[in-house]
Amino acid sequence: MQTLAVTETITTIAEAEKRFGLSRNESQDSFTEWHNQLPEINPNDRTNLEILWKRYLYHRSGGHLLESTVMLLLVSPLLTVAGLYDPPFRIKAEESVQITIADSEETLQGRIDLLVLQDRLWVIVLESKKTILSVWSALPQTLAYLMASTKRRK
């Protein structure tokens, strides 16, 4: 059995789709709660977000930022503004996962940088690489971690 790191193995959405038999759903009817009847951002939160953005740009202008710096500058304050440190949410950091690929001799191992949970609902998964906090850079690994999570519950 060969053990591989998730971060080095699942680097693209196409790779996650291929390895786990996933398919993309781009229907406008999926997850309507993400775009219908969203609450307005209050002025205080908007000000806080603008401060975070300016702070990030200032520190980023000096060069690449390490993951721990990005977590301190952006992630933790954003979770505070979003209310994701408070009930009913739970924080898990450096959550270990292991996935055995069906019909393969491979096991993928990795850690989720930060996971915010409400029961079985994953509210947010963050994977930061230097100064990148992008859904597109995190999504392939997130799909792998979600696959590991579903296998643990069965």
What mean pLDDT value characterizes the chain? 77
pLDDT of 80 above 60:
yes
pLDDT of 51 above 80:
yes
For 10, the 3-state DSSP assignment is: coil
DSSP state string for 21-71? T------TTTTGGGTSSPPPPPHHHHHHHHHHHHHHHHHHTTS---HHHHI
Mean pLDDT, rounded, for 23-38: 78
CA-to-CA distance for 13 and 84, rounded, in angstroms?
27
pLDDT digits (tens, 9 = 90+) for 93-110: 776 767 666 666 777 776
